[in-house]
């Protein structure tokens, strides 16, 4: 499952057309869009880049600098911030460039690393959301059982990244740069060869099977687990709130807990909704026989929008933390005030 490269969806149709018309050369425009559309893409992607990098660096700084913020939940949130930061740094710029021009302008290392980092980061984010849901479930539904300690959370985070690497490795191993023969880019009356970052599987069916396996393990199954966990949590909290309605201190504690749960549910729901269009497009291109015109439309317009929506999720999470969690809000304010002081 190649996530970052948009041009992959157009490879088969482009290669087929070159083969059918091998006596003639196929010429492609260097830029895929008009100047106006390119400016819109650049502005939208740059806004997400700033949110991803700035917001998630702020979240990481707040958790790392404040000992009282190093709870199990906040350590998992720190892991989410790190994965979102990696997406912002490694994936947003390359995906933007890939959506603006024809072909793959980077080398083999960037082809492999961009897709590997994005695949690992997305997988780590999903598994972290599951870990948070399970931790909240055991702490609220079974409050007298042994609670997870910060050390255990760190070991869990390490396991999450190892699992994320293992599950994305097959995709990264197949990534290669392909030269499209008899196909050329045209820019300023000059022609250039076309290269594409592409997953080259031994059999096309293997790619389809792998995409479905990844979809189930990285999206569908986690969505089911998270939904069940938070459903049980909401039911338990509803009972608890009715039981402590007359006890002010316990009620205030329960309300704070509810606010944290609301924040975590919001993060999980937005993640699933934001990534659904991209998953839908990837399954569509793998399991449907699309013609050249349909593939061109998907790769030029729908894939860039779907990628932007997925990346936007990585940038919006810090805003959610600040809105729902007073400790994060205070930490953000202190960090910004400290930066302003040093600038002065």
pLDDT digits (tens, 9 = 90+) for 79-115: 999 999 999 998 899 999 988 988 888 889 989 998 9
pLDDT of 36 reads 93
The tokens describing 32, both together, are 């895929």
pLDDT value, residue 221: 94
Token pair of 330 as six digits:
């205070």
Angle at 6 between CA 120 and CA 169, to 5 degrees: 25
What whole-number distance in Å separates Cα of residue 85 and Cα of residue 79?
10
Instruction: Give dist(CA 253, CA 75) in Å, integer.
Output: 21
Q: Which domains does the chain have, with CATH numbers?
A: 7-335 (1.20.1070.10)
What integer pLDDT is reported at residue 342 of this predicted model? 45
| φ, ψ dihedrals at 113, nearest 5° | -70, -40
pLDDT for residue 19? 38
* Burial grade of 57 (CB within 10 A; 0-12, 13-18, 19 or more): middle
pLDDT given at position 81: 93
CB burial of 152-181 (b: ≥16 within 10 Å; e: otherwise) equals ebeebbeebbeebeebbebbbebbebbebe
Which pTM value belongs to this model? 0.85
Report residues of the chain scoring pLDDT below 50.
Answer: 2-7, 10-23, 246, 340-344
Task: In whole angstroms, give the CA distance from residue 17 to residue 26.
Answer: 8
pLDDT of residue 254: 61
CB distance 96 to 45 below 8 Å = yes
pLDDT of residue 217: 93
User: Tell me, what's the pLDDT at 238?
Assistant: 77
Residue-wise pLDDT for 201-232, tens only, equals 998 889 999 999 999 999 999 999 999 988 88
Distance from the Cα of residue 82 to its chain's centroid = 11
Round to whole Å and give the CA distance between 338 and 163: 38
pLDDT of amino acid 300? 83
Q: For residues 71 and 147, what is the distance between their CA atoms, to the nearest angstrom?
A: 12
């Amino acid at each position: 499952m190649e996530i970052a490269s948009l041009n992959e969806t157009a490879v088969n149709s482009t290669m087929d057309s070159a083969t059918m018309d091998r006596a003639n050369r196929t010429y492609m425009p260097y830029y895929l869009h008009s100047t106006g559309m390119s400016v819109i893409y650049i502005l939208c992607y740059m806004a997400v880049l700033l949110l991803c990098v700035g917001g998630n660096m702020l979240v990481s700084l707040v958790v790392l600098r404040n000992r009282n913020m190093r709870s199990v939940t906040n350590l998992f949130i720190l892991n989410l911030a790190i994965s979102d930061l990696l997406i912002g740094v490694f994936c947003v710029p390359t995906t933007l460039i890939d959506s603006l021009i024809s072909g793959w302008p980077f080398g083999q290392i960037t082809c492999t690393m961009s897709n590997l980092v994005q695949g690992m980061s997305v997988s780590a984010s999903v598994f972290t959301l599951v870990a948070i849901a399970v931790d909240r479930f055991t702490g609220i539904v079974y409050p007298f059982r042994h609670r997870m300690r910060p050390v255990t959370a760190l070991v869990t985070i390490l396991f999450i990244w190892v699992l994320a690497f293992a599950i994305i490795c097959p995709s990264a191993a197949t990534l290669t740069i392909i030269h499209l023969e008899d196909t050329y880019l045209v820019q300023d009356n000059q022609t250039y060869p076309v290269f594409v970052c592409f997953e080259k599987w031994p059999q096309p069916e293997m790619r389809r099977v792998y995409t479905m396996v990844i979809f189930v393990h990285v999206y569908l199954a986690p969505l089911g687990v998270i939904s069940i966990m938070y459903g049980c949590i909401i039911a338990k909290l509803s009972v608890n709130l009715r039981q402590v309605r007359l006890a002010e201190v316990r009620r205030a504690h329960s309300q704070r807990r509810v606010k944290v749960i609301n924040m975590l549910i919001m993060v999980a729901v937005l993640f699933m909704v934001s990534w659904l269009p991209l998953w839908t497009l990837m399954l569509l291109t793998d399991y449907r026989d699309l013609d050249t015109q349909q593939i061109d439309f998907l790769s030029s317009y729908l894939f860039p929008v779907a990628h932007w929506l997925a990346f936007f999720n990585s940038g919006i999470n810090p805003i959610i933390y600040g809105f729902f969690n007073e400790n994060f809000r205070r930490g953000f304010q202190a960090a910004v005030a400290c930066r302003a002081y040093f600038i002065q």
